[in-house]
């Protein structure tokens, strides 16, 4: 289960996880990413799914598509969708779903290989925290899409010690992350001509409790549920 509590939790053990970069992290994580219980992804899917407009006929770009959840979601609802990711291992997993392999692109979010105004909606799920500088990122987002949705760990969750970590064969790994304040996101968006349409601050709820139970971490749920978990924002040009 992705860690959503402070590393001070004694049940996590005293050994610090091994810090890895994004490419190595997702190479390791890719094989179990879709199967491992993840309350943060469950929460985000529950919240964002209710916010997305009708997608039929829209041009949809899934930024940092990973194993292709939102890309698959969009295709199933009639969108003309593409996905881009830095990890070939994650894209290989995405290719096993209903998406045409030709619509999966290996590339960098800060240098998108798409034409200007090529999409109606671009969505970036749980990925901006892997990028140190937001300026180039948002310039590219705004260049290729009329509407931009960004969803990631809330700054309060990071301050509370939540990490992007996982366990394989009893060994824990933590992917390097760069904390961004809400103000920083808004500034980067506004500087490239984006204006906020809606914002959602999401907390873990009863729907996610069962994931904690199955992972043997029910003791951590009450404290985790008090922390703002995910910040989701939609900007429009």
As given in the structure block, the two tokens for residue 90 are 């994650």
Q: Can you give the pLDDT at residue 215?
A: 84
Flag residues of the chain having pLDDT under 70. 1-15
Name the packing angle between helices 39-51 and 69-76 (round to 10°).
30
50 three-state secondary structure: helix
* Structural domain boundaries in the chain: 10-236
CATH architecture classification, 10-236: 3-Layer(aba) Sandwich (3.40)
Q: Can you give the pLDDT at residue 9?
A: 53
Residue 161 has what DSSP assignment? T
Residue 220 has what DSSP assignment? G
């Amino acid at each position: 289960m992705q860690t959503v509590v402070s590393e001070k939790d004694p049940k996590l053990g005293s050994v610090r996880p091994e810090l890895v970069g994004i490419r190595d992290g997702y190479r390791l994580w890719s094989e179990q990413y879709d199967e491992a219980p993840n309350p943060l992804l469950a929460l985000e899917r529950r919240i964002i799914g209710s916010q997305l407009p009708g997608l039929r006929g829209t041009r949809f770009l899934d930024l940092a598509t990973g194993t292709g959840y939102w890309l698959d979601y969009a295709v199933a609802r009639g969108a003309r969708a593409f996905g881009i990711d830095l990890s070939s291992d994650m894209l290989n997993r995405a290719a096993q779903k209903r998406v045409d392999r030709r619509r999966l692109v290996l590339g960098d979010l800060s240098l998108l290989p798409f034409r200007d105004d090529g999409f109606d909606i671009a969505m970036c799920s749980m990925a901006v925290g892997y990028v140190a500088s937001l300026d180039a990122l948002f310039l590219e987002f705004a260049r290729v899409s009329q509407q931009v949705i960004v969803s990631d760990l809330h700054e309060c969750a990071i301050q509370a010690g939540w990490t992007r970590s996982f366990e394989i064969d009893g060994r824990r790994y933590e992917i390097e992350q760069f904390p961004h304040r809400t103000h920083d996101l808004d500034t980067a968006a506004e500087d490239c001509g984006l204006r906020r349409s809606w914002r959602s601050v999401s907390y873990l709820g009863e729907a996610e409790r069962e994931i904690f139970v199955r992972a043997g971490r029910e003791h951590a749920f009450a404290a985790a549920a008090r922390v703002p978990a995910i910040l989701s924002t939609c900007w429009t040009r």
